[in-house]
Amino acid sequence: MPSPLNAKVSKQFKPVHLLGHIVLLGVGIILLYPLIFMVLAGFFTKTEFSSTVLGIFPIPKAPTLENFKALIAGSTDAAVATYMKNSLIRTVYNTFWAILTSFLAGYVFARLRFKGRDALFLILLATQMIPGTLAIIPTYLEFARFPFAGGNDVFTGGTGILNSWWVYFIGGPSINIMGTFLVKQSLEKVALEIDEAAIVDGAGTIRLIFQILFPLQLPIMAFIAITTALGTWNDFITPFFYTTSDHLQTLPAAITRISSVGASPGAVINYPMIITLSLGITIPALLIFAFFQKYIVQGLANTGIKG
Amino acid sequence: MENAGLRQRKIPLRRRLGRHKDALIAAVILVPMFLVWLVVSGFPTLFGFVLGFFEWVGLADTPNFIWFDNFISFFQNPVYTDALWRSIWLGGLVTVITLGAGFFAALLMNMPLFGKGFYRSIWYIPAITATVATTQVFNIFLDSNNGVINNILKALGKEPIVWQYSVGWGIFWIVVYSVWKGVGGAALIWLAGLQSVDLALYEAAEIDGAGRWNKLRYVTLPGLKPIATYIVITNLIAAIQIYEQVLFITNGGPYGQTEVLVFRIYRDGFWDFNLGMAGASSLIMALIVIVVTVLYYNWSTKSDRRTTIPLKPVKSAGKEALPHAQSTKR
**Tens of pLDDT along A278-303?**
999 999 999 988 888 888 877 777 66
Residue A45 lies in a domain: yes
The neighbour count for residue B75, using CB atoms within 10 Å, is: 12
Is B289 within 8 Å of chain A by CB?
yes
Least confident of A117-126, B19-28, B45-54, B82-91: B19-28
Q: With an 8 Å Cβ cutoff, is B97 touching chain A?
A: no
On the question of pLDDT at B13 being above 60, the answer is: no
Phi/psi of residue A283, nearest 5 degrees: -60, -50
What would you report as the CA-atom Rg of chain A, rounded to the nearest whole angstrom?
Answer: 24
Asked whether the beta carbons of residue A24 and residue B275 sit closer than 8 angstroms, the reply is no
Residues in chain A with CB shorter than 8 Å from the CB of B192 are 300-301, 304-305
pLDDT category, B15, cuts 50, 70, 90?
Answer: low
CA distance A293 to B311: 25
- Please answer whether residues B99 and B236 qualify as being in contact, where contact means their C-beta atoms are separated by less than 8 angstroms: no
Please list every residue in chain A whose beta carbon sits closer than 8 Å to the beta carbon of residue B136.
Answer: 255, 259, 271, 274-275, 278
Sort A261 into a burial class: Cβ within 10 Å, 0-12 / 13-18 / 19+: middle
Mean pLDDT of B205-213: 85
Tens digit of each residue's pLDDT (9 = 90 or more) over A211-240: 888 988 888 999 999 999 999 999 998 998
pLDDT of the residue at B325: 35
* A152 and A105 share one domain: yes
Whats the size of chain B, residue-wise?
330
The answer to whether the CB atoms of A234 and B130 lie below 8 A apart is yes
Does the beta carbon of B293 lie under 8 angstroms from any beta carbon of chain A?
Answer: yes
- Name residues whose C-beta falls within 8 Å of residue B305's C-beta, 6 or more positions apart in sequence: none
Residue of A175, A236, A307 lying closest to B34 (CB–CB): A175
Q: Write the ipTM.
A: 0.87
**Same domain, yes or no, for A33 and A134?**
no
d(CA B87, CA B241): 7
Domain B67-310, classified CATH 1.10.10.60, yes or no = no
Q: Do A301 and B192 touch (CB under 8 A)?
A: yes
pLDDT for res B79: 92
Q: B76-119 pLDDT, tens per residue?
A: 999 999 999 999 999 999 999 999 999 999 999 988 888 888 89
Contact B193 A54 (CB under 8 A): no
Give the predicted TM-score (pTM) of the model.
0.85
Q: What does the pLDDT read at residue A8?
A: 47
Asked if residue A301 and residue A153 are part of one domain, the reply reads: yes
Query: Is residue B128 very low, low, confident or very high in pLDDT (cuts 50, 70, 90)?
Result: very high
Tally Cβ neighbours within 10 Å of residue B329.
6
Instruction: Say if the Cβ atoms of A17 and B279 lie within 8 Å.
Output: no
Q: How many domains does chain A have?
A: 2
Identify whether residues A84 and A35 lie together within a single domain. no
Asked if the C-beta of B183 comes within 8 angstroms of chain A's C-beta atoms, the answer is: yes
Q: Is the confidence at residue A306, as pLDDT, over 70?
A: no
CA-nearest residue to B198 within chain A is A3
pLDDT of residue B78: 92
Residues A105 and A229 in one domain: yes
Q: Which of A111, A261, A135 is nearest to B250 (CA)?
A: A261
d(Cα A147, Cα B62) in Å, to the nearest integer? 17
Proportion of chain B above pLDDT 70, given as a percent: 85
Size of interface A-B (CB pairs under 8 A): 315
DSSP 3-state of B224: coil
Task: Confirm whether A84 is domain-assigned.
Answer: yes
Q: Are A97 and A230 found together in one domain?
A: yes
Cβ neighbour number for residue A47 with a 10 Å cutoff? 9
Using pLDDT thresholds of 50, 70 and 90, give the confidence band for residue B17.
low
Residue B317 confidence (pLDDT) above 60: no
Domain ranges, residue A215: 77-306
A139 lies in the same domain as A227: yes
H or E segment to which residue B207 belongs: helix B199-207
Question: How high is the mean pLDDT of chain B?
Answer: 83
Q: Do B286 and A230 touch (CB under 8 A)?
A: no
Q: Which amino acid makes up residue A109?
A: F
- Flag if B45 and A134 touch (Cβ within 8 Å): yes
What's the pLDDT score for residue B96? 97
The mean pLDDT value for B165-174 works out to 92
Closest by Cβ to B22, choosing from A24, A56, A114: A114
Give the helix/strand (H/E) hosting B223.
helix B221-223
Least confident of A50-64, A163-177, A245-259: A50-64
Mutate to test the interface with B, among A133, A224, A232, A236 (most CBs of B within 10 A): A133
CA distance A80 to chain B (A): 15
Average pLDDT of B302-328?
A: 41
- Chain B partners within 8 Å of A189 (Cβ): 316, 319, 321-322, 325-326
pLDDT at residue B303 is higher than 70: no
Task: Specify whether A59 is located in the same domain as A83.
Answer: no
- Is B4 an 8 Å CB contact of chain A? no
Alpha-carbon gap: A140 to the closest alpha carbon of chain B (Å)? 9
Interchain CB distance below 8 Å, A38 and B133? yes
pLDDT tens digits along A257-281: 888 777 777 777 888 888 888 999 9
Residues in B touching A24 (Cβ below 8 Å): 105, 108-109, 113, 116, 119, 123
CA distance B148 to A55: 6
* B140 CB within 8 Å of a chain A CB: yes
Predicted pLDDT of residue B324 = 35
Q: Is residue A123 part of a domain?
A: yes
**Residue B18: predicted pLDDT:** 57
The rounded distance, in Å, linking the Cα atoms of B304 and B296 is 12
B128 touches chain A (CB under 8 A): yes
CB B250 within 8 A of CB B164: yes
Alpha helices in chain A (DSSP H): 4-11, 15-41, 46-51, 66-73, 80-111, 117-127, 133-144, 166-169, 177-187, 192-200, 205-207, 214-216, 218-234, 237-242, 251-258, 271-306
Q: Does A41 share its domain with A135?
A: no
Average per-residue pLDDT for chain A: 84
Judge whether B269 and A137 are in contact, CB under 8 Å.
yes
